[in-house]
Amino acid sequence: MEFKAVATGFCFLEAPRVADGVVWFSDVVQGGLRRLLPDGRIDSWLPGRRWIGGIVINADGAVLCSGGDGIAWVNPATGASGMLLESIDGKPIRGVNELLPDGNGGLFFGTADVAEAEHGGERGPSALFRLDRDGRVRQLCGGLTFANGIGLSPDGRRLYFNDTFVGTYACDLLPDGSTGKRVLLAEERDCDGLAVDCEGGIWIAGFQSGAITRLSPDGKLDRRVPLPVEGVTSLCFGGADHRDLYVTTTAPDFAEALAKGNMPSATASLYLARSDVAGRPVGRTAFSLSGDGARG
């Protein structure tokens, strides 16, 4: 698999998502929601928003993104923006990482104590939640170290998610919207973003290994694909045939720089490759964003 840099000059890229011929992504530490246009130009939104680890597209074209204070949204067509979710059970959210549409208009999301992660302190509790389109929030899995990549099986009946520094889990989605018992598919202290292909393969970004791992639905290793750089953070499928594979990376010095309170070098890139298997199409959420959004 041959990887080509299609955008470069960033510090810590994350959250790729393809929609309507453009590629959305973020720079976690520089801040902002970025959009790569077909002609190669890049524009940006929400410039002051940092730690965007997940992006999804709403039915009205608005873009939802995570961050240190919850889930925000912006409509590129109108410039309108706001917060979708800032609290859970009346308590402020200390950070949301990955996002994924749930197939019913709502979304799955994972909480993460991004402020402590930024400063290297002891992280708070992390969990996986579901936000229904009517604003109801339900915890699906608790007791995680750092909730990360989320994916659905091709039939939408099985949920996959990464717990960074632990591995990749799977659990069945039950008819009432809850989840069955979670099973550790693969133990791996190197798992960040996650995507699922149309054959049920689970693609995992290795933030330390500089490689992408593909697991079969039962957790067996199918292949390991190295990238020309280390620090692979996330990935997604796109294109007309869903075989375009976009991968985000970090600058080589990001860990050392953040530990010293410095900005990493602007040497991270967004990469594109062609996959021999098509990705599972990712749907859209269906939140009403004309008002104040969900409350939690």
Residue 93's pLDDT is what?
93
What is the tens place of the pLDDT at every residue in 193-247?
A: 999 999 999 999 999 899 999 999 999 999 999 999 989 999 999 999 999 999 9
User: What is d(CA 15, CA 28) in angstroms, rounded to the nearest whole number?
Assistant: 9
Model confidence at 295, pLDDT cuts 50, 70, 90, reads: very low
Q: Is the pLDDT of residue 63 over 80?
A: yes
* pLDDT value of position 200: 98
Assess whether pLDDT exceeds 90 at residue 66.
yes
Residue 23 amino acid letter: V
Non-local CB neighbours of 152 within 8 Å, separated by 6+ positions: 100, 102, 103, 158, 159, 160, 196, 280
pLDDT exceeds 70 at position 82 = yes
Q: Whole-number mean pLDDT of the chain?
A: 93
The 8 Å CB, 24+ separation contacts for 135-140 are 135/293, 135/294, 135/295, 135/296, 137/85, 137/88, 137/89, 137/294, 137/296, 138/177, 138/178, 140/108, 140/171, 140/178, 140/179
- Token readout for 295 is 């409350």
**Percent with pLDDT over 90 in the chain:** 85
Q: Cα angle at 45 between 291 and 242, to 5 degrees?
A: 95
Q: Which position has the higher pLDDT, 296 or 78?
A: 78
Convert the pLDDT of each residue in 140-156 to its tens digit. Answer: 999 999 999 999 999 99
Q: What residue ranges define each of the domains in the chain, with the CATH number in brackets?
A: 4-274 (2.120.10.30)
Q: What is the pLDDT of residues 117-128, one digit of tens each?
A: 665 555 668 999
Q: Which two tokens stand for residue 190?
A: 């190197």
Contact yes or no for 128/156 (Cβ under 8 A): no
pLDDT classification of 290: cutoffs 50, 70, 90: confident
Report which secondary-structure segment, H or E, holds 63. Answer: strand 63-65
Give the pLDDT score at 119. Answer: 58
**Model confidence at 296: pLDDT above 50:** no
pLDDT score at 256: 85
Within 13 Å and on the Cβ side, how many CA atoms surround 199?
A: 12
Mean pLDDT of 78-83: 96
255: exposed, middle or buried (Cβ count in 10 Å: 0-12, 13-18, 19+): middle
C-alpha span between 255 and 206 (Å, rounded): 15
188, 20, 205, 179: which is closest to 97 by C-alpha? 205
Give the whole-angstrom CA distance, residue 279 versus residue 274.
Answer: 11
* Residue 155, helix vs strand vs coil: coil
Question: Per-residue pLDDT averaged across 15-35, rounded?
Answer: 96
CA distance 73 to 276: 34
pLDDT tens-place string over residues 236-285: 999 999 999 999 999 998 888 877 888 889 999 999 999 999 999 999 99
Per DSSP, the three-state class of 46 is coil
**Least confident among 81-95, 102-116, 204-218, 226-240:** 102-116
pLDDT at 293 over 70: no
